[in-house]
Amino acid sequence: MNHRKTHTPELFVEHLTRLPWWAGVLAAVLSWAAAYALVYAATTARGADLSTLQQIALPAVRDLAKVAQILLPAAFVTLTLWSAWLNYRHQRNYSEVAEEHGAALLQQLSGREFENLVAEFFRRKGFVVDQRATRMPEAGVDLVAGIGEDRYLVQCKHWRVQRVGVAVVRELCAVAGTENAVGVFVVTSGSFTEEARRYVENNRITIELITGEQLRRMIRGLDPVAA
């Protein structure tokens, strides 16, 4: 995919949406309970036991807690619903890509959606996947897919027209050597140049080039993943 700098607020929200639905519900309940306890404490505090500053601050604290009692649970519920929607969309994309019209759908995905599709594919094949592109991608590494003791580096190229060339493959192989990865995958929605394919044949490291059509066949279970 085309890498871009991910800002901290965007990154924080994206990680929150990856939490299971029950975590959002639990956070909503706990935030409401905490705000309620603060409202109760501020309301029942005895004036004789408080300093002048505390007496002045208590009404403001109570009012802020009342607002938080509404806004915080609402925010967590919203994130939970957002997470559920994103998960539904990812699963829908995954199933529809394998269908007859899947080739056109594959091209219509955004770069991030394509990366999520590839990540889901590896997860369903038994890999533990770390999506690095949601943080700071190292030299084009979008995913790290681990199975057993083995780690593979994965780069996702959602290119509609341009074919993936040898420079992309060569760069990823160089990173694999520094990260003790046993192999690399380059996955594209398009295709690869002949030079890139010749580089794979003459390289010692395990390299798998996966075109968009091959990815669709693998999702349908017609082709195995080489690992």
Q: What is the pLDDT of residues 40-77, one digit of tens each?
A: 888 887 665 667 777 778 888 889 999 999 999 999 99
Task: Look at residue 46 in the predicted model and tell me its pLDDT.
Answer: 65
Going edge to edge, which strands form the sheet with 128-131? 128-131, 143-147, 150-157, 183-188, 206-210
Is this prediction's pTM over 0.75?
no
DSSP assignment, residue 18? Answer: T
If pLDDT is split at 50, 70 and 90, which confidence band does 95 have?
confident
Task: Look at residue 55 in the predicted model and tell me its pLDDT.
Answer: 73
If pLDDT is split at 50, 70 and 90, which confidence band does 3 have?
very low
* SS3 state at 184: strand
Task: Look at residue 17 in the predicted model and tell me its pLDDT.
Answer: 62
Task: Look at residue 2 in the predicted model and tell me its pLDDT.
Answer: 44
Task: Look at residue 220 in the predicted model and tell me its pLDDT.
Answer: 86
- Mean pLDDT taken over the chain: 83
Q: How far apart are the first and last CA of the chain?
A: 22
Q: Are 9 and 165 in contact (CB under 8 A)?
A: no
pLDDT tens digits along 134-149: 544 455 799 999 999 9
Task: Look at residue 4 in the predicted model and tell me its pLDDT.
Answer: 45
Q: Are 209 and 223 in contact (CB under 8 A)?
A: no
If pLDDT is split at 50, 70 and 90, which confidence band does 101 have?
confident
% of the chain exceeding 90 in pLDDT: 42
Q: Whole-angstrom Cα distance, residue 185 to residue 152?
A: 7
Q: Please state the rounded mean pLDDT for residues 21-30.
A: 89
Pick the CATH number of 127-220 from 3.40.1350.10, 2.60.40.10, 3.60.20.10, 3.40.30.10: 3.40.1350.10
Task: Look at residue 69 in the predicted model and tell me its pLDDT.
Answer: 94
Domain limits, the chain: 8-97, 127-220
pLDDT tens digits along 155-193: 999 987 778 999 999 999 989 888 889 999 999 999 999
